[in-house]
Each structure stands twice: as C-alpha cells, then as structure tokens.
C-alpha cells in the first residue's frame, strides 16, 4: 500500500509532472480528499486519473461550503454514491454526508 501527500495549491503542476505515474496506478484506488483549499481544482485533477470501480471520498461535506463545491464538481461528472460506506455507522453519522463515491462502469 502506498500513500501520497500532495500540496493542493500545486495540484495541477503535480498532476502534469506525475501523469505517467498517475496513469499507471494499479486499480482500484481509493482517493480521500480532506482539504479546504483549492478543492474544486483538486477534485477535477484527481478525477482525470480515476477509472471505473475506483473510490473518491470527499471529507467534511457537512460544511455547506464544502458540500456546494462537491455538488459543483458532480454537475459535470457521474459518480455513484456508495450508501453502504456513507451510512456504515448510521445514517448521516459523519462529517462527509453522502460523499463516498464510486466511479461507475460505462453504461
């Protein structure tokens, strides 16, 4: 298992500089976003490298600002909400409300 820490203010340059690495990731992958800076750009950059079956978790969406950013991101993309993990500890019993996503298979 590998973990990678990124500077979310530099996510575009990181993605550009590490495109080969990011495209070669063994799937499925789990990406957990837990920042409060440059969130929309961060989600957009990460989305480019996710494949069907990969997971994206957006943290702290109980905060209206963060929830609105997540909704804006999803307006142009399709992800399935994984309610099993969203409600694992009870319905809406976390700071990331309905924000455990799985990239769907093509239909």
**Cα–Cα distance for residue pair 29/4, rounded to 1 Å:** 12
Joined tokens for residue 93: 């019993």
Mean pLDDT estimate for the chain:
90
Q: How many CB atoms lie within 10 A of CB 18?
A: 14
* pLDDT at residue 95 tops 70: yes
Ordered by where they begin, the domains of the chain are: 8-102 (3.40.50.150)
pTM confidence score: 0.87
pLDDT of residue 23: 94
Going from the C-alpha of 88 to that of each of 27, 76, 106, the distances in angstroms are 23, 27, 26
């Amino acid at each position: 298992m590998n973990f990678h820490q990124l500077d979310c203010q530099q996510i575009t340059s990181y993605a550009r500089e590490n495109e080969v690495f990011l495209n070669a990731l063994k799937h499925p992958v789990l990406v957990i976003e837990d920042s409060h800076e440059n969130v929309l750009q961060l989600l957009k950059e990460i989305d480019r490298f996710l494949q069907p079956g990969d997971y994206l978790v957006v943290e702290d969406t109980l905060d209206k600002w963060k929830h609105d950013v997540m909704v804006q991101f999803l307006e142009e993309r399709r992800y399935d909400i994984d309610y099993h993990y969203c409600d694992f500890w009870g319905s809406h019993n976390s700071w990331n409300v309905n924000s455990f996503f799985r990239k769907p298979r093509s239909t």
